[in-house]
Amino acid sequence: MAPRSFQEYSFRSFTPLPRLVAMTPPFARIAALLEKRTRGGWVWVLPNLVLGCFVLSLFALLVVLQRYEQATQRNALAQDIQWAEQTIRTHLTNNQEFLQQLANGVAEGSLARESFQAQAGQYQRNNPELTHIVWVDADQVVRWTVPFETTAWNAGERLSLPEQTLTFQRANRTQQPAYSVPLVSPEGDATIEVHVPVLHERASRGAVIGIYAAAGVLRHLAPAWFSEKYRLVLETDEQVIGANSAVELQTDISDIVSLNPPGQGLRLRVSAYATKSNVPQKMIVFLIGGLVLLMAWSLWALGAHMRSRLRAERERDRLFNLSLDLLCVVHLDGHIVRANPAFERVLGLAVETLYGRPLIGLVHPDDVQATQEEVRKLARGEPSTGFDNRCRCADGTYRWLVWSVNPALEEGLFYCVAHDITERKRSEDAVRAEYAFRKAMEESVMTGLRAVDMAGRITYVNPAFCRMVGLRAEQLIGCLPPFPYWPRDDNAEQWHNLTLTLAGKAPANGFKMRITHAGGKYTDVRFYISPLIDADGKQTGWMASMVDITESNRTRAELISAHERFVTVLDGLEAAVYVADARTEEILYANLAFCAIFGPDAVGRNSRELTDCCTPESALLLRDPQHLTLADLPCELFDGELQNVVSERWYHVRDRAIKWVDARVVRMVIATDVTERRQTEDENVRQQVRLEQTSRLISMGEMASTLAHELNQPFTAISNYAMGCVSQLESGKYRREDLLAAMQKASFQAERAGKIVRRMRDFVRKSEPNRAAVALADIVEEAIGFAEIEARKAGVDIRINLPPALPPVYADRIMIEQVLLNLVKNGIEAMVHTPRKRRHLSVAARCNEDDQVEVEVCDNGHGIADEETEKLFMPFFTTKAYGMGMGLNICRTIVEFHNGRLWAVSNSGGGMAFRFTLPLGE
Ligand code: ADP
């Protein structure tokens, strides 16, 4: 699922919390969508639209009503105008007819002046729209006037205005009544004249003129109700002649009536006054308008209220979403109804995955019981001061949260706030561990600690200090100098030290002091002083650490004496001893013996320079100490003998790499003078060689008669062959072949004798040991070559059993021959009393499991008791009357010289078996 945007969280926040209680996530989403629309203003469109439609409808209704009203008014106006037009026209026509009667009377002369005035006056009074009725003769001179007393028209005056003249002429010309154009006096009064021609037998006798005042026409010709209802304006194209009201009306309910008669463009404009019936209509309009405004205002106010509420909710929502604390709403049954994104930030749990999940499911199993107990307390309405527990994160780890839960039981909800206190817990644990550590350190430390304030008053002592002075902390804290542990006789020095301490002038290497234990015992101590600085960086006193140096003094004294002993011992040694740095070869220590050899200034010099004069004879171990690490130590570097080429003395040198007192790698060399020993050894070796040679000579001596006998045979044979040849040569009867055969045989015998002599010479020849890889078969052949003469004499059968693939041995041939000859000879001699047929002696060899060649000489002789087998090898042990008892001893020495072993075992079938080993000759 894609992560939700901040807005989505915001939208959800508009949903009132209680409504969400029963909402499962899909419903919550729908609600959120609705809220989104609410926020987007869709909801406000409808009421605004309805309001607008309502206002428009009302206005449309008003317009329609007004139109209807206007149409009604127009109809009424049309009817009234029609009626008024008719009435005016009738009036004018009647007036015209009356004036015609008068004109007729004047033309016939039947109408006297008095009658004229009487009739016209009477008529004029009845029709006040006519202001004057006059008779003007053909010369346009006023003759008679009505009313008589008028000043406007005077008898005898002529028509002065051109319009009057024109109208007069038109009437007489057309012999029809003619209306003048409106005549406006300088005072502004307008009049209209109707000229009725006075014709007598077609001759003009002037005209009777009726004068209409424009105002009179409007006042008297239109009925009173008409004048009240309408504003009447008498006008021409050019000007307004008169009006029944000075008020200008802005109304479109008006009509124009063309007056004909009198014609001349004269017309009557009729405009309707506002009727009384408009007042309630306007009131309705105002009322509706007012209501619409009120409604619009209430909608605006509602909108403003909603906006401020939404803003408040947005702010609350932002707080909810941005809160670093975990906020959630939990149903009474424990299921999460709502959670803020802090759950994701702190626990890594996506918010949507939490809905519907039990909150207790997140709690660490060890904290579940305590948490449930707290929740039950809250559900019972008991107050809770908050609790903490561990909640599981998405990655399986747990974080410590402190919960503050506000139950809303009537809503069935818990409002929960959790603050992540993992770090605080960690630091608390760290502080606790640190405190415990410090406490343990304080308890276990052997150094006494004492703090004094700037005035010298003791403010702190640790248990070690209390132990050292034999007083309790309460007895010490608060004490001012002189302190109870100061020795009475030493007070002056103590005061001096304290003064230095308080002045900050205590020496860096501390004070050496003596204190008194409460039990009376004195202890030597060393005080180290350092300033005591508080958290604000201000010095509050001095901290002193007190170390008991009694023991260290004693140890130092012991060390010194141990060192002296050590030096004395080393200097007393005959061996030269020195220690040199493995890297720089600088001699760090040399004993007297070394200095005696290399000079008293040996220490500090380069060991290589001093010992270069020594040549190694046997380097058993020779390693470069440069690359040694402490882990490799101790390590043998050299073990062998060296000769000082200057003094020519021999030393056994043992060179070891060890860790020195300052932890660096050093070489410790012990050189023991072995010159005497070597000389003794050399002498021994020389004597041994002489002994061996003597032994061989003895062996030869022992075999002398046998060898003489052995040599005698070939010599006798040679002599015989030589004599035979001489005889044959002297007789002259000889055959060449016989002589050749005899000479060849003599030669063979001479060779045989020569071989015996060479072998004897080799055997007894004095020579230095010379080891080399030799075939054992060759050695055996040579040795048996001597022994078989004896064996033959003693009737012993020698059997040689050597594997064909036997590897060569690393040996001195003559020495091993000597060993073999001795063993074989002893075997032959041991079988003196053995029945002849059993006198077998075998020489066998094999390669043993230790990669050595093991040689066995086995006989069937008298043997020897088991307990005496080791005695055999002792010098001068012999059972023979003429024996020396040195043979086996020399044999063992020779074998051991060859790094081998010689031993004897009793043969199971009687007799002895002597075995020895030799190294392989690779
Ligand atoms: P010698 O032959 O001069 O006595 P050896 O050292 O060779 O000196 O021998 C020492 C003694 O060991 C002999 O006297 C003999 O008693 C005993 N001995 C040596 N070899 C044998 C053997 N094969 N069987 C029994 N005894 C032996």
**Cα 269 to Cα 256: distance, rounded to the nearest angstrom:** 4
Q: Does residue 20 lie within any of the structural domains?
A: no
Give the pLDDT confidence score for residue 19 in this predicted structure: 40
* Cβ of 827 below 6 Å from ligand 1: yes
Compute the distance between CA of residue 796 and CA of residue 784 in angstroms, rounded to an integer: 12
- Residue from 339, 317, 343, 319 nearest 328 by CA: 339
Q: Determine whether the shortest distance from the Cβ of 873 to ligand 1 is under 6 A.
A: no
pLDDT at 34 over 60: no
For residue 829, report the distance from its CA to the centre of ligand 1, in Å.
8
* SS3 labels along 724-754: HHHHHHHHCCCCHHHHHHHHHHHHHHHHHHH
Tell me how far apart the alpha carbons of residues 706 and 703 are, in angstroms, rounded to a whole number: 5
Percent of all residues in the chain with a pLDDT value above 70, rounded to a whole number: 93
Are the beta carbons of 256 and 265 closer than 8 angstroms? no
Tell me, yes or no, whether 825 and 710 share the same domain. Answer: no
Measured distance CA(897)–CA(919) in Å, rounded: 11
CA distance 485 to 501: 17
Q: What is the pLDDT of residue 52?
A: 83
Using one digit for the tens of pLDDT, what is the confidence trace for 323-374? Answer: 888 999 998 888 999 899 999 989 998 888 888 899 899 999 999 999 988 8
Our answer on whether the CB atom of 769 is closer than 6 Å to any ligand 1 atom is: no
- State percent of the chain over pLDDT 90: 20
> Is the CB of 864 inside a 6 Å radius of any atom of ligand 1?
yes
Both 610 and 499 in one domain: the answer is no
pLDDT for 40 equals: 52
885 lines ligand 1 (CB under 6 A): yes
Pairing status of strand 511-516 against strand 458-461: unpaired
Which runs of consecutive H residues, i.e. helices, occur in 381-445? 422-444
Residue 872 Cβ < 6 Å to ligand 1: yes
Report which ligand 1 atom has the smallest distance to the Cα of 878.
Answer: 14
**Atom 25 of ligand 1, nearest CA residue:** 863
Q: 179 — phi, psi (to 5°)?
A: -95, 140
Ligand 1 lined by 698 (C-beta under 6 Å): no
What does the pLDDT look like over 380-404, one tens digit per residue? 888 778 889 999 999 999 999 999 9
Cβ of 863 closer than 6 Å to ligand 1, yes or no, is yes
Q: What is the CATH number of the domain that holds 695?
A: 1.10.287
By C-alpha distance, which of 758, 806, 754 is closest to 780? 806
Q: Which atom of ligand 1 is nearest to the CA of 873?
A: 6
Q: Which H or E run contains 106? A: helix 42-108
- Read off the amino acid at residue 792: R
Structurally, the chain folds into a number of domains equal to: 6
Ligand 1 proximity of 830 Cβ (cutoff 6 Å): yes
Tell me the CA end-to-end span of the chain in Å, nearest whole number.
81
Report the Cα 538 to chain-centroid distance in Å.
Answer: 39
Q: CA 411 → CA 22, 103, 326, 508, distances in Å?
A: 11, 110, 21, 73
Kindly state if the Cβ of 880 falls inside 6 Å of ligand 1. Answer: yes
- Tracing tokens 């960086």 back to the chain, one arrives at 537
- Report the pLDDT value the prediction gives residue 862, as an integer from 0 to 100: 92
Report CA(872)–ligand 1 centroid distance (Å).
7
Q: What is the mean pLDDT of residues 667-676?
A: 90
CB 450 within 8 A of CB 544: yes
For 268-311, write each residue's pLDDT tens digit.
888 877 665 567 777 877 888 888 889 889 888 988 898 899 89
Q: Quick check: 9 pLDDT over 80?
A: no
Among 694, 888, 906, the mutation site with the greatest number of ligand 1 atoms within 8 A of its Cβ is: 888
Q: Which of 821, 826, 866, 889 to mutate to test the pocket of ligand 1 (most atoms within 8 A of CB)?
A: 826
Residues 906 and 853 in one domain: yes
Please report whether residue 349 resides in a domain.
Answer: yes
Task: Looking at the structure, tell me whether residues 896 and 775 fall in a common domain.
Answer: yes
pLDDT (tens digit per residue) in 405-444: 888 888 888 899 999 999 888 888 888 888 888 888 877 8
CA 872, CA 176: separation in Å to the nearest integer?
206
Domain that holds residue 654: 556-673
User: Cα–Cα distance between 28 and 4 in angstroms, integer?
Assistant: 14
Which of 281, 239, 235 is closest to 258 using CA atoms? 235
Residue 552 has pLDDT above 70, yes or no: yes
Ligand 1 centroid vs 885 CA: distance in angstroms? Answer: 7
Please tell me which residue, 111 or 1, carries the higher pLDDT value.
Answer: 111
Residue 91 zone, left/alpha/beta (φ > 0; ψ -120 to 50; rest): alpha
In short, whether 888's Cβ falls inside 6 Å of ligand 1 is yes
Question: What's residue 10's pLDDT?
Answer: 36
Both 251 and 135 in a single domain? yes
Nearest CA to ligand 1 atom 11: 878
| Among 321, 261, 308, CA closest to 96 | 261
The answer to whether position 822 is within a domain reads yes
- 20 vs 573: which has the higher pLDDT: 573
- Looking at the structure, tell me whether residues 133 and 261 fall in a common domain: yes
Q: Is 887 in the pocket of ligand 1 (CB under 6 A)?
A: yes
For residue 296, which amino acid is it?
A
Fill in the DSSP letter of residue 3. P
Answering whether pTM is above 0.85, one says no
The answer to whether the CB of 218 falls within 8 A of the CB of 240 is: no
Q: Ligand 1 centre from 711 Cα, in Å?
A: 27
Half-sphere exposure of 96 (CA within 13 A, CB side): 20
Ligand 1 pocket residue status of 860, Cβ below 6 Å: no
- pLDDT tens-place string over residues 340-353: 999 998 999 888 88
Is there a contact between 358 and 331 (Cβ–Cβ < 8 Å)? no
Cis ω on the peptide bond leading into residue 803 (within 30° of 0)? no
Comparing 141-155, 541-555, 602-616, the range with the smallest average pLDDT is 602-616
Is the pLDDT at 16 greater than 80? The verdict is: no
Q: Are residues 762 and 779 in the same domain?
A: no
Question: 363 and 229 share a domain?
Answer: no
Picking from 427, 455, 481, the residue at the C-terminal end of a domain is 427
User: Is 182 a pocket residue for ligand 1 (Cβ < 6 Å)?
Assistant: no
Give residue 911 CA to ligand 1 midpoint distance, Å. Answer: 12
Note the pLDDT tens digit of each residue in 721-778.
898 899 888 888 888 888 898 899 899 989 988 888 887 788 777 677 788 999 999 9
Q: Residue 593: left (phi > 0), alpha (psi -120 to 50), or beta?
A: alpha
Separation CA 443–CA 190 (nearest Å):
135
Within a domain: 52:
no
SS3 631: helix
**Tokens found for residue 323:** 């809160």
| 532 and 660 together in one domain | no
In a shared domain, residues 659 and 690? no
Any domain includes 139:
yes
Q: Which residues pair with 419 in a beta bridge?
A: 402
CA atoms within a 13 Å half-sphere pointing along the CA-CB vector of 425: 12
Picking from 621, 651, 673, the residue at the C-terminal end of a domain is 673
464 and 589, same domain (yes or no): no
pLDDT band at 249 (very low <50, low <70, confident <90, very high): low
Separation of CA 783 and ligand 1 centre (Å): 18
Tens-digit pLDDT profile for residues 207-238: 999 998 888 888 887 778 888 888 888 888 77
Region 813-829 average pLDDT: 91
Residue 304 domain flag: no
- Out of 252-266, 273-287, 552-566, pick the least confident: 273-287
Distances (CA, A) of 301 to 123, 307, 313, 359, 817: 75, 10, 18, 42, 136
Same domain, 668 and 682: no
Residue nearest to atom 19 of ligand 1 (CA): 826
Q: Is 912 in the pocket of ligand 1 (CB under 6 A)?
A: yes
Domain for residue 365, yes or no?
yes
- 429 burial class (0-12, 13-18, 19+ CB within 10 angstroms)? exposed
For 908, phi and psi rounded to 5 degrees?
Answer: -65, -35
CB 797 within 8 A of CB 840: yes
Instruction: Write down the mean pLDDT value for the chain.
Output: 84
Reported as half-sphere exposure (CB side, CA atoms, 13 A), residue 40 has a value of 9
Q: Find the 882 Cα to ligand 1 centroid distance in Å.
A: 11
Q: Quick one: average pLDDT of 621-646? A: 81
787 CA → ligand 1 middle, Å: 16
pLDDT value of position 29: 56
CA gap 627, 514 in Å, rounded: 49
- Give the CATH number, domain containing residue 346: 3.30.450.20
Q: What is the DSSP string of 826-840?
A: HHHHHTTTS-GGG-E
Q: How far is the CA of 788 from the centre of ligand 1 (A)?
A: 18
Tokens in use for 891?
Answer: 């044999």
Parallel, antiparallel or unpaired: strands 852-858 and 902-906: unpaired
For ligand 1, whether the C-beta of 625 sits within 6 Å is no
Q: How far is CA 93 from CA 89, 168, 197, 262, 272, in A?
A: 6, 18, 15, 10, 26
Tell me which of 697, 878, 895, 902 to substitute to probe ligand 1's pocket, judged by most ligand atoms within 8 Å of the beta carbon.
Answer: 878
Q: Which helix (H) or strand (E) holds 94?
A: helix 42-108
From CA 894, how far away is CA 338, in angstroms rounded? 102
Residue that terminates a domain, selected from 709, 736, 768: 768
Per-residue model confidence (pLDDT) at position 13: 37
Cα–Cα distances (Å) from 628 to 43, 93, 178, 668, in that order, read 89, 157, 157, 14
Does 284 fall in a domain? no
Residue with the larger pLDDT of the pair 593 and 4: 593
